[in-house]
Amino acid sequence: MPPRPGFGTQGRKVMLWANSFPLVFQGLPAVHRYSVEVLAAEERGRVPTGKKLSRVVQLLLEEHFPGQTHEIASDFKSNLISRTELDLAEEGYLIPYRGDHDEEAAPGAPTYRVRVQETGTLSVSDLVNYLTSTGAGALLHNKEELLQCLNIILGHFPKAAPGIASIGPRKHFQIATATRMSLGAGLEALQGFFFSVRAATARIIVNVQVKNAAFFEEGPLDRLMRAYLGENGPNKVRLGQFVKGLSVNPTHIVKKNKKGQVVPRVKKVAGLATPNDGQGDPHPPKVRGFGAGPRDVLFFRGGASEAPASQPSTGKKKGKKPAKAGPDPPSTEGYISVYDFFQETYNITIQDPALPVINVGSRQRPSYLPAQICDVLAGQPSVAKLSPSQTQQMIRFAVRKPPQNAQSIVTSGLQTLGVGSPDSNLGPFGLELIPKLTTVVGRVLNCPDVRYGGNKSIRPKFGSWNMQSIQFSAKAELPYWSYLWLSYPTRRDPWRDDQALQPTIDAFTAVLRETGINAGNCIRGQHVTVQDVDQDLEHAIRAFTSHAKPPKFILVILPAVDTALYNRVKYLCDVQEGLLNVCAVANKFAKPNNAQYFANVALKVNLKLGGRNQLVDPSKLGVVGERKTMVVGIDVTHPSPGSSSEAPSVAGVVASIDHTLAQWPADLRVQPARQEMVADLGPMLQSRLRLWSQHNGSYPQNVLVYRDGVSEGQYDIVLEKELPALRTACRELYPAHLTKQGYPRMTIVVVGKRHHHRFYPTKAEDADRSTNPQNGTVVDRGVTEARNWDFFLQAHTALQGTARPAHYYIVYDEIFRVQKVQQPLQNAADALEDLTHNMCYLFGRATKAVSICPPAYYADLVCERARCYLSKLFDPSSVPGSEPSVSGERRGGGPGAELNRVSIHDRVRDAMFYI
């Protein structure tokens, strides 16, 4: 990867705090690394995963290395790090499984065989010497392994502490003391912290950031289930998915150890009772329907009472029988309902017989419990997609002023990490974390003037500006257009009929003309009351394109913010019928004195029609302003929790067509799910190069790529897989004499949004109105490595909360290293930082600087639009008639039926249809 060409020099210097702490070493110890493999000791036994695996590793340390507690660190999965060499048993270790409060393994509990093998010795001094070396060509082949080792040591305390819940390897939440807020429907938001050991110039730092996550509310399961049903309606299939996997503690039997402590009898919810439970059992349970209540779930009771379960009497599979439910009643045989069983055996009357019974066994060997006698254990994160109301609550909870976050990091964050705790293992490993935020030098870059029609210039203030009485830089032609007004059958509209709507349409038309769009009068459109989303919308939109002269553009007025309606409109217009469109919500569109809202809609209309909203002086765009550089944005979107198993990943590519960076047509392709690297990158780039050639008469000499969505561990893969694909695509198109001269020159910049670095002003005069750093702040030292070429840029002004800068990492460069830098810029670092910053003022949908540069932003929007087209796969719950099946699988169209749904219609393919 290209070395840093020097640090940036431009802008006004400011001192900032970073959310990182110095990690210092005492004696620079060597540490021993071991691999851990946990296997089932019995034949056909299951290998533990998740929390059970973590507990097995914990038992290994407690029982076999008790005197070395503080000298061993583990990720409680597959690695051990030891300050001293361990005396290992060659045959491994047998670990009988027991719970946290159990003094010994219960009868029938599984036993696991644990193998521990040394994999090498790591010298921390090698990492320190590498970071402090002045040799630019110095290499450290095991740098990532050393950083992983330090992360394991640092993460050992929060993973081992009983009151801390961990999500993944680096997010930790103190359950009892965490700041929290109810999200409704059985969930609550908790504040926790993310930790990461990172290399920086001449030092090692620990990055600590506030993180928020949704957890299941602790307490009675029946209360949680009623809360969910109260907000989501009586859908038992979704309720079953909601509680599936939850760990609960049945309270009808209390077990205590010798110390008098209550020992939880933790059970995992397999789902709700279904009629298909216990197939193959000679006496299968009788369940009236999916999610039946305790009176409608009957299980077969043998001669003596058992826990409410169905047990095969002659099954060939070995399995642990449920624990006896208590004192045996008189010997009876036959079917009994869960309701009657708990009434007779435990004198427990189930208060809500309508609430579904849960299954804490399996589908083949079910074990039923009423929700009333189950308590949800604390510290269980939810991975399900939040509802819109829950998302709003989560945003409200997460938005905090920068000083609040900084204070939480220094206090609660370090406490969660165990700094200052006698149980911390940092000291024995020769590590010390200095509890003071790192100070870094930043620079505030000057913002460019923004130009509009008539050569009018605006100087932005606080990263934004007003285009009142200003026309677009290049107006679009809109001679023939119409509208589609959608209504619900049971909801009142802002207008009683088309005649009442006309004044609003006229006011909108006037704003279009004021902003410079040459708009003709809107022809009368359609008013459709939507009852069947698919059929009614398809019929209405096809009516526009079936005319001999279809309108160039339609305004779609939605009755509300409705995901299903919006997704269907976008698919029908963009993919099926080829009709440029913009959606507006009726109650916002109908407000009086609505010029500002109309102007915001006009921004999208002008871009979709091929217009140009704003400009900056070409001299502010460096190599792009020389008219020989095509800028490309690339992103990939992946299936989210709740997506169909058939949902693919989708890659989106956008590219500029001229030096003004106003128009960015796009291409979309589907590829295998979870594959980050773009499969069809070559053909996608070729389609963009041909479009550039159509507008400019030749292919560009430079291709500047901003690659979004790539994690730090995948930088090398971009070079190994995507760069060759880009190269091959260019060789196939470019004339031989240009390829021999080395054209096109190519630079690839990875854009990072999901990093954890934040910056805080040290002086009030260096802060903006929300106490964040001022817009245009760039940081390229202090938390970066001198050998790598990267920088953080906060181009925008955050409206609320703590601003997140974008991280730009240059993985390949042929453009800037040979480009002659114009004064006052001093080096290639200045050139790229200045270009990237100024581009943030050219995002056509806003009158403000945006947080990431437009090519990455537009590529992200393209991928989001693809999710609309594939909503049946990406978000089945938002599609009418797409309820998940009883087994919990999501239903979606087959791949063959759905994957062609991202092929944009020829009539709109070269427009910014995704804006």
pLDDT for the residue numbered 491: 86
**Backbone angles phi and psi of 102, in degrees to 5:** -80, 135
- The amino acid present at 290, given as its one-letter code, is F
Burial of 232 (0-12, 13-18, 19+ CB in 10 A): middle
Q: Which amino acid is at 775?
A: N
Summarised one tens digit per residue, pLDDT across range 684-713 is 999 999 999 999 999 999 999 999 989 888
Higher pLDDT, 589 or 894: 589
Q: Rounded to 5 degrees, what angle do the CA atoms 817, 820, 825 make?
A: 95
Place of tokens 């106490």: 771
How many structural domains is the chain composed of? Answer: 4
**Based on the number of CB atoms within 10 Å of its own CB, is 838 exposed (0-12), middle (13-18) or buried (19 or more)?**
buried
110 shares its domain with 166? yes
- How close are the terminal C-alpha atoms of the chain, in Å? 34
Task: Look at residue 198 and tell me whether its pLDDT is greater than 70.
Answer: yes
Mark which of 574, 608, 642 sits at the end of a domain: 608
pLDDT value at residue 880: 54
Question: Is the confidence at residue 893, as pLDDT, over 70?
Answer: no
pLDDT tens column, 128-161: 888 887 665 566 788 889 999 999 999 999 999 9
CA dihedral 652, 655, 660, 662 (to 10 degrees): -30
Asked if residue 426 is part of any domain, the answer here is: yes
* 852 falls within a domain: yes
Are 156 and 292 part of one and the same domain?
no
Q: Which SS3 state, helix, strand or coil, does residue 188 take? A: strand
**What does each C-alpha distance from 498 to 267, 334, 485, 652, 904 come to in angstroms?**
60, 69, 9, 39, 31
Structure tokens at 180: 């929290």
- Final residue before a domain boundary, out of 608, 640, 674: 608
- State whether 351 and 341 are in the same domain: yes
Within a 13 Å sphere around the CA of 852, how many CA atoms are in the beta-carbon half? 24
Do 574 and 589 reside in the same domain of the chain? yes
Reply yes or no: is the peptide bond before residue 824 cis, omega within 30 of 0. yes
Q: Which residue type occupies 115? A: R
Domain shared by 630 and 602, yes or no: no
Q: Determine the average pLDDT of the residues in 813-833.
A: 93
In a domain, 882, yes or no: yes
pTM above 0.85, yes or no: yes
What is the tens place of the pLDDT at every residue in 94-128? Answer: 999 888 777 777 777 889 999 999 999 998 888 88
Q: Which of 208, 213, 204, 197 is nearest to 411 (CA)?
A: 208
- Phi and psi at residue 658, to the nearest 5°: -160, -175
Of 136-145, 190-199, 877-886, minimum mean pLDDT range: 877-886
Nearest Cα to 358, choosing from 293, 271, 267? Answer: 271
Do 270 and 152 lie in a common domain? Answer: no
Domain match, 722 and 685 both: yes
The per-residue pLDDT for 713 is 86
Expressed as residue numbers, the domain containing 531 is: 475-608
Tell me, yes or no, whether 3 lies in a domain: no
φ, ψ of residue 260 to 5 degrees: the values are 85, 5
CATH of the domain at 319: 2.170.260.10
Task: Give tens-digit pLDDT for 431-487.
Answer: 999 999 999 999 999 999 999 988 899 999 999 998 888 899 998 999 999 999 999
- Is the domain of 207 the same as that of 249? no
Q: Which of 562, 578, 608 is the last residue of a domain?
A: 608
Task: Supply the CATH number for residue 633's domain.
Answer: 3.30.420.10
Confidence of residue 738 (pLDDT cuts 50, 70, 90): very high
Burial of 242 (0-12, 13-18, 19+ CB in 10 A): buried
Among residues 437, 459, 456, which one has the least CA distance to residue 448? 459
Range ranked top by mean pLDDT from 23-37, 641-655, 662-676, 891-905: 662-676
pLDDT at 866 over 80: yes
Which helix (H) or strand (E) element contains residue 596?
helix 595-608
CB under 8 Å to 820, separation ≥6 — which residues?
A: none
pLDDT at 899: 61
> Looking at residue 324, what is its pLDDT?
42
- Gap between the Cα atoms of 471 and 456, Å rounded: 9
Q: What is the mean pLDDT of residues 650-674?
A: 95
> Does 486 lie in the same domain as 433?
no
**Is residue 149 a part of any domain in this protein?**
yes
* Strand pairing class (526-529; 553-558): unpaired
Cα-atom radius of gyration of the chain, to the nearest Å? Answer: 31
Same domain, 323 and 291: yes
Average pLDDT, the chain: 89
Question: Which pLDDT band holds residue 308 (cuts at 50, 70, 90)?
Answer: low
Domain shared by 602 and 640, yes or no: no
Report the CATH number that the domain containing residue 519 is assigned in CATH: 3.40.50.2300
Please give the order of strands across the beta sheet that includes 271-272. 271-272, 358-359, 368-369
Kindly state whether residue 770 falls inside one of the protein's structural domains.
Answer: no
| pLDDT confidence bin for 281, thresholds 50/70/90 | confident
Give the 3-state secondary structure of residue 236.
Answer: helix
Identify the pLDDT of residue 543: 94
* pLDDT value of residue 105: 74
The answer on pLDDT for 313 being more than 50 is no
Q: Is residue 15 part of a domain?
A: no
Q: Could you tell me if 636 and 595 lie in one domain?
A: no
**Is 361 inside a domain boundary?**
yes
